[in-house]
Amino acid sequence: MSVVPSTRPLIPAARLCGIVVLPGDKSISHRYAMLAALAGGRTTLHHYAPGRDCRSTLDCLAALGAGVDHEAEAVRIEGRGIGRLTAPVDPLDAGNSGSTMRMLAGILAGHPFRSVLDGDRSLRQRPMRRIADPLTRMGARIETREGRAPLVIDGGPLRAITFEPEVPSAQVKTAVLLAGLHAEGDTTVIEPAPTRDHTERALAAFGAPPSIDGRRVTVRGGQALVTPHDLVVPGDASSAAFWAVGAAVFPGSEVELQGVGLNPGRLAFLDVLRAAGARVSVAPVGEQRAEPVGRITVSAGPLTAVRVSPRDVPALIDELPVLALLGIFGAGFRVDGAAELRTKEADRIAALAAGLRALGARIEEWADGFEVTPSRLRGGSADAAGDHRLAMTFALAALGAEAPSQLVGAEAVAVSYPGFFDDLRRLTDAAA
Ligand code: S3P
């Protein structure tokens, strides 16, 4: 689907105040939907992520024969059982969603039919060899266009492997583990660095807990999943990060983020905010089937410079663009070892630097990192480059500009957070 970029005015605001109930987590929604399609019965997913990416996953699963009934935020999925999805008539469209394409490829590798997985212009640029290689080792035939989509997958009987990915990636880990469910024997992924563990937790919720030993995760092939009936998706921690950073950098702000997933693998950005001097409190309020949930409150404090080292990058990968605001409005922000940012929905180093510079920020970039120094923003026109997280980052940055700005491609927020601008308006109105 091609969308004409819409330009949105961005009006400066002194601070952010109020309460936000976060939309359902994107990462967890994809996984629950895919596992529900592989389970035998009917699963109802509550608070399913409302963004376009998770809709792409549902559309692909429906095209593969799963029953999908989507009403507001509840999604009912009638699963077919492991290896029982049916051949799609048309190419499957993952849209803008790397998670949909990579994780679904793991499932399709174990199905005895040909399928074609394609996506939008951005997704067609992103590296797919990282999943094609291990899935080929397991016995699938996968054709790519020089390592990129469209993918033509001829699945079939798979053998278990032990796989050590070169880059830390939860999507790659998940693709191999999902293929492993369809394989004979035990499939192990040994991660180079820890990545989010939602797949491991989701597998447990579907009655197939993997065994975990440090960075080794092993699934047993050939087991059936158990339908959990009802699952509640926690609020998206990466979406919460926008408000948390906004509250940290604009003096006088305070936001309370409710119903947020508190999986420790997703909250490293709070450590960065604390290190910078923001006031952060976290109150767990329970656990929704293996995923902890709670409330996060953030208010501004005097900020100091922060530096993210390569070791900390995997746990911050989706939050690094918005954390750059600590550099503009605080005392500086630098990250190294983050070349992966260049392989996301956009080149998130080049497009971040271009957009922030257009607003007046001082930012320097190099192959695997960037540094932002404190800047007075005069305002300007920032281009989201089709990337949802850059759109939200620029929208927040523009609040602190001296004059109104413009956001080109504002509609990209719909990929993960369709209600972003409504929440932004509420938080700035409440603070006025
Ligand atoms: C995700 C993993 C990360 C992240 C993406 C979602 C997931 O990607 O950037 O937004 O749900 O597993 P990589 O696995 O490519 O690091």
If DSSP codes are grouped into helix, strand and coil, which group holds residue 211?
A: strand
Give, using CA atoms, the residue closest to atom 6 of ligand 1: 27
CA nearest neighbour of 234 among 266, 262, 195, 271: 262
**Residue given tokens 């549902």 in the structure block:** 58
Distance CA(114)–CA(366), nearest Å, equals 41
C-beta of 361 in contact with ligand 1 (< 6 A)? no
C-beta of 55 in contact with ligand 1 (< 6 A)? no
Tell me the C-alpha to C-alpha distance, in Å, between residue 429 and each of 253, 347, 379, 404, 414: 12, 33, 20, 16, 22
Q: Work out the end-to-end distance of the chain between its first and last CA atoms, rounded to an integer number of angstroms.
A: 38
Distance CA(384)–CA(410), nearest Å, equals 7
26-232 homologous superfamily: Enolpyruvate transferase domain (3.65.10.10)
Residue 405 Cα, ligand 1 centroid: separation in angstroms? 30
Nearest ligand 1 atom to the CA of 196 is: 12
CA nearest neighbour of 140 among 128, 166, 158: 158
Pocket mutation for ligand 1, best pick of 27, 103, 131 (most atoms within 8 Å of C-beta): 27
Give, using CA atoms, the residue closest to atom 11 of ligand 1: 27
Nearest ligand 1 atom to the CA of 103 is: 12
**150 upstream amide cis, omega within 30 of 0:** yes
C-beta of 171 in contact with ligand 1 (< 6 A)? yes
C-beta of 53 in contact with ligand 1 (< 6 A)? no
For residue 192, the one-letter residue type is P
C-beta of 97 in contact with ligand 1 (< 6 A)? no
Nearest ligand 1 atom to the CA of 168 is: 16
CATH topology of domain 7-24+234-431: UDP-n-acetylglucosamine1-carboxyvinyl-transferase; Chain (3.65.10)
pLDDT in tens, the chain (432 residues): 455 678 999 999 999 999 999 999 999 999 999 999 999 899 999 999 999 999 999 999 999 999 999 987 799 999 999 999 999 999 999 999 999 999 999 999 999 999 999 999 999 999 999 999 999 999 999 999 999 999 999 999 999 999 999 999 999 999 999 999 999 999 999 999 999 999 999 999 999 999 999 999 999 999 999 999 899 999 999 999 999 999 999 999 999 999 999 999 999 999 999 999 999 999 999 776 689 999 999 999 999 999 999 999 999 999 999 999 999 999 999 999 999 999 999 999 999 999 999 999 999 999 999 999 999 999 999 999 999 999 999 999 999 999 999 999 999 999 999 999 999 999 998 877
Residue 396's contacts (CB-CB under 8 Å, 6 or more residues apart) are 242, 245, 246, 322, 325, 424
Q: Where are the domains of the chain?
A: 7-24+234-431, 26-232
Residue 169 Cα, ligand 1 centroid: separation in angstroms? 6
Nearest ligand 1 atom to the CA of 26 is: 11
C-beta of 188 in contact with ligand 1 (< 6 A)? no
| Model confidence pTM above 0.85 | yes
- 24: which DSSP letter? B
Give, using CA atoms, the residue closest to atom 10 of ligand 1: 318
Residue 170 Cα, ligand 1 centroid: separation in angstroms? 6
- Residue pair 369/309 in contact by the 8 Å Cβ criterion: no
Q: Give catalytic residues, as residue numbers.
A: 318
- What are 115's two structure tokens? 């399928």
Residue 241 Cα, ligand 1 centroid: separation in angstroms? 15
Distance CA(190)–CA(173), nearest Å, equals 9
Q: How far is CA 342 from the centre of its chain?
A: 15
